[in-house]
Every structure is written in structure tokens, then in C-alpha cells.
Amino acid sequence: MNKNFSDVLIVGGGAAGLSLALRLAEQDISITLLSKSELTEGSSLYAQGGIAAVLDSGDDFESHIEDTHTAGAGLCKDSAVRKVIEGAPQSIEWLIEKGVKFTLIGGAEYDGEDSEYHLTREGGHSHRRVIHAKDATGREVATTLEQHVRAQPNVTILENHIAIDLISSQRIEGDGKSRCYGAYALDIDSNTVKTYAARAVVLSSGGASKAYLYTTNPDTSTGDGIAMAWRAGCRIANMEFVQFHPTCLYHPYAKGSLISEAVRGEGGLLRLPNGNRFMDAHHERAELAPRDIVARAIDYEMKKGGFDSVFLDISHRGRDFVLDHFPNISENCRKYGYDLTSEPVPVVPAAHYTCGGILTDLRGRTDLKRLYAVGESSCTGLHGANRLASNSLLECLVIAEAAADDISQRLGNADDEIPTLPEWDESQVSDPDERIVVSHNWDELRRFMWDYVGIVRTDKRLERALHRVNLLQEEIVEFYGHFRVSNDLIELRNLATVAELTIECSLTRKESRGLHYTLDYPEMHEFARDTILTPNNFASHAPIREWDNT
């Protein structure tokens, strides 16, 4: 029998994984939750802006739906857009019931039904509809959910555990039925690999922006779930759409210091070094244009003028306003010598969000039976070619609820037996003799992805990147086959895989759409089509036929 067995194995502890775990745990389902670092140390924790939802009487679902489709450049799946947006108010109420303290008008604390929540507006939105907790919404949501999950007796939390690979029926039985039985994971503290069996496995491990040299994401964002699902036989979609956040603080030591979209939503202006504004020359919404347009405009102005950065200025709103609305961002800027309340601060774009990922339906189901994916590691069709600001945490919550419902129903089926899974075999490997190879390859990958697969692309640049990643893959395969795994090696292997998937998707798309802009094909096609990559060991099952291109 499998000694590390639970009903559900969840890989990742952000908003998607925590909300899913809590919903399942409240149904007396046993859960093992793996986190490669501290439980909440992921992109959700660092989300500043908020959660988009129709909560004001002057707003409506159709407006939010239209804004999402517009930002997504015609590639959003309408069924996904409607499900997530129409499920938003209910998800917000669920968070409030769990104790999430969103900011009220005037900054007061919640004191009953008459209290009104402050809604801000971000780029691409036609109304104020972003509910938030000051400028640290992700931290408030993640830490509140964490407290509830830790209190559940049927949840086993394993921090400092990084998943290596999924265990499928094809891998251990070769029966072609494509079922997921669990995963191998490295206990980083003890440096031992353990086998985890489960009746259902959920990948909620986030995106892959650490494939780029400059990113707003924490070190955990290495595309682990996407890479594991691809190796296990799942289709991957739309990886060419990498969202670059327009405003990351520019400072040699300000690693990944995001300056929220909400700063521009509350009146922040983008300026050149000479103080002149420039966004009104690029889009009718100026600073409130969708993120792809703002990031591309900044990139254009920096290259045109030879600037190291542009500047974001909200000082005209006054010191009290800035400190009240953006206390954490102001404090972070101050640490690096900038005063957000009195001066413009230097900003540059940085890789921020992976819009593509593991192909799923609207219940989180993948091509592999018993395997689910939720959050940034998945591709439901909500974001299309460009994610609308503050729709990401929303997707985590709504799809996690749907996945929890589907999992709880499926666990009642008779076909739930799990075979005894083979233990991890290290009999043919040794300790690595030169760990420097891993760090050098990691650095090389992130640099050529930034140079060749960035905001503006060409086929020549992409082909150079593909050649480089293929060479790296050969070295990684050899290293992986001969030496014991480590945290760095696992992440490098996964980053190389998601880099290759991103490049392949980018080369496949012969147009410019949303976040994918290529000088070779600057026009957008009349008809929008998804880019879907299919692995050699692909085996389909019914739930995601809705993704078939017609």
C-alpha cells in the first residue's frame, strides 16, 4: 500500500490551491498540500491591485465581460469569461465570510452591512470594480486563507517540498488509460525524494515568469506544473502570451518590486525623463490602456530615446492620498531612495503573468484523468491574448470552487483504486560534481529569453532562442540522468521546458495579437485561433473537447 496517501494532492499554496484545499477540507476530504517554499510564498502573496468584480450598482456583468474580451484581443473563450465574471460577487462574499478585510471607503474597518467597500479602477476597465485591501490584496487573501487551511485537521501541509514529476497509469502500467495517481516530490530539507499517491491531483503551482531575466514574480514562479503536465501528456495552450507588467521599480537592488496598476488607476502619470507625458500618443485611454499596450509603449519610448527607464508620477495627488492608498508601495520605494509622495519614480516593464498554460475545462480538468489545474498554471480561455487587470485572483477563486465541486463528486465514484506506486529510483545516479553548470544554464536561459522572446519579437530572434534552448535541454537531460536531483536542477529543467513551449507557440503564431507582438507579422488576423501544442504521449478524454479549434 502507498504510505503517503490522501484523497487529494495539491501542488502549490497560492490563492487557487488554498481556496481549493479549504473548500475540500470542509467536506471531510483528506488533503496533502505541497509547497516548494513557505506555504503562501507565491505570486498570490505579492498581488497588489485587487480582485475585479461587479459590486457597484452602476456597473454590470456585460461591461466587465466586454472589457475582458477587449483586453484579450478576441481570443477569450466567452464561456470562460462569463463563468468567472458572473461568479465573482459570490467569490468575494466567500472571502469576506472567511475574514478577508477589504478596504472600505474612507479607509475605515468593516462595521456592518452599511459599510461600503472602496473600488478602484485599473487599466482596461471601464468602471471602478476592483475591490482591494489597500495595496496588499494578495497578502490579505493568502494569509487569511492560510490560517483557515492550517486549522483543518484533515489537511497535511508539507512546506519545502518541490514536485518533480506526475505518476500516471501510462508511466507505471502502460495501459493507455491516462490516469494520474500522484507525484514524486523532493523534500528539500532532508534531500530525499518521496512518493505521494492520491485519488485526484491538482496543479496550482503558478506561472513561469522566472524564465525571464526581469520579472515581478517571486523565485517560485518556475512553471513547474506546466512542465510536469506536458511531460505527463497534457496539451499546453497559448504560451506565447507572456504579460509584461508595465511598471516595475527600476533599481539595481529592487528585485521584482512591482508598482501596482492601481497607481495609474488613481491618477498616476507616465513621463519621459524630461517630464513629458507620452501615453496619450499611443492609446486613447492613455495610462489606463490595457497592459500590453502600456508595456509596449514604454519599451518603444525607452528604445527610441535610449533611456534606462521611464517615470511614474502620482505626486500631484498629495502626500496624504498616496500614503493612504499605497502605504506598502510607498515604503518599498522609500527603501530604495525614492519618495512616491513627492517625485516621479523610475519604472520599466518586467515579465509578470503567464496567460497560457495547461489546457483545462471550466472545472479545472485536464487531458489526464484525475489531474486538475487551477490558477496561473492553467489555461481556461479567460485571459485570451492578454489578461485584464485583477482578473487573475478572481479566476483562482471561481475555478477552484468549480474544481472542488467536481472532485468531491468524482471521489464518490467506484473507480477510485490506486495501485501501489513505485518508489523513486536513485540506484543509477551520484552526487553532482559541478553544481556551477546548473546556475550558469539558469542565467543563460533567462538572458536569451529576455533578449529574444520579450515584448517585441521577430522570427529570427525566436529561432535563435529555440537553438539555445535545445542545446540547454541536451545538457539538462544528461545532467538529470546522471546526478541526484536538487531544487535548482528541478526548476532549471522545468524552466527550460516552459521556455521551449513559449518559443514554439510564438513561432507558430504568424500575426501580432495581444501580448504577442512580432515585427515580421505586425497585423492581426481576422479570425482568432488558439495555439495548442500536443505532446507525443497525448491521450485525450472528453471534458476539454470544447477547446477543439473549428
Convert the pLDDT of each residue in 51-90 to its tens digit: 999 999 899 999 999 999 999 999 999 999 999 999 999 9
Q: How far apart are CA 57 and CA 432, in angstroms?
A: 61
pLDDT at residue 549, as a whole number: 39
pTM of the model: 0.90
The pLDDT value recorded for residue 546 is: 56
Which is higher by pLDDT, 427 or 130?
A: 130
Least confident of 85-94, 186-195, 250-259: 250-259
What b/e sequence results for 288-298 when a residue is b if at least 16 CB atoms lie within 10 Å of its CB, and e otherwise? bbbbbbbbbbb
The one-character DSSP state at 521 is S
pLDDT band at 284, cuts 50/70/90? very high
Which cell numbers in the block locate residue 294?
A: 502600456
Question: Rg of the Cα trace of the chain?
Answer: 22
Rounded to whole angstroms, the Cα distance separating 297 from 291 reads 10
pLDDT at 97 over 70: yes
Judged against a pLDDT cut of 90, whether residue 493 lies above it is answered with yes
Which tops the pLDDT comparison, 550 or 484? 484
pLDDT at 114 over 60: no
Question: Which among 106-120, 210-224, 486-500 has the top mean pLDDT?
Answer: 486-500
The 10s digit of each residue's pLDDT in 255-274 is: 778 898 889 989 999 999 99
Indicate which residues carry an active-site annotation. Answer: 291
**pLDDT at residue 441 above 70?**
yes
Determine contact, residues 357/377, Cβ cutoff 8 Å: yes
Grid coordinates in use for 467?
537553438
The predicted pLDDT at position 332 comes to: 92
To the nearest whole number, what is the mean pLDDT of the chain?
Answer: 91
- Convert the pLDDT of each residue in 130-161 to its tens digit: 999 988 899 999 999 999 999 999 999 999 99
Domains annotated for the chain, with CATH where assigned, are: 5-240+355-408 (3.50.50.60), 245-351 (3.90.700.10), 436-523 (1.20.58.100)
pLDDT exceeds cutoff 80 at 537: no
Separation CA 373–CA 225 (nearest Å): 8
pLDDT of residue 357: 98
pLDDT at 110: 45
Distance of alpha carbon 411 from alpha carbon 130, whole angstroms: 36
